[in-house]
Amino acid sequence: MSEDRHNTKKLSRILGVVFSAIFFAIGVAGFQRTGDFVQLAVFIGLSALAYMVVIFVFAGIDRLLDKVDDRPDGDK
């Protein structure tokens, strides 16, 4: 990626880690209760997916903000 013009990179990583940690904690808690490795694997996979979704959503937000910033002054 290029430069972070809107300072959203740090926020996206923090939110990605938070959502990922939530799914990971649910998976570990469920595994401790049931002992089911499949459930643990599914929630670890969801944890990674949650991180990637948050990063991609913020990448889209950055692109949208870039397009709004690049708009000519006459289009206001």
Q: What is the Cα–Cα distance from 65 to 44, expressed in whole angstroms?
A: 32
**Residue 55: count of CB within 10 angstroms of its CB:** 14
Domain ranges of the chain: 9-67
Count the alpha carbons within 13 Å of 72 in the hemisphere toward its beta carbon: 2
Residues 6+ apart with CB under 8 A from 39: 27, 30, 31
Q: Tell me the pTM.
A: 0.79
Q: What is the pLDDT of residue 7?
A: 84
pLDDT in tens, 14-71: 999 999 999 999 999 999 999 999 999 999 999 999 999 999 999 999 888 888 877 7
Q: What is the Cα–Cα distance from 31 to 49, expressed in whole angstroms?
A: 19
Q: What is the pLDDT of residue 69?
A: 76
> By the 8 A CB rule, do 52 and 15 touch?
no
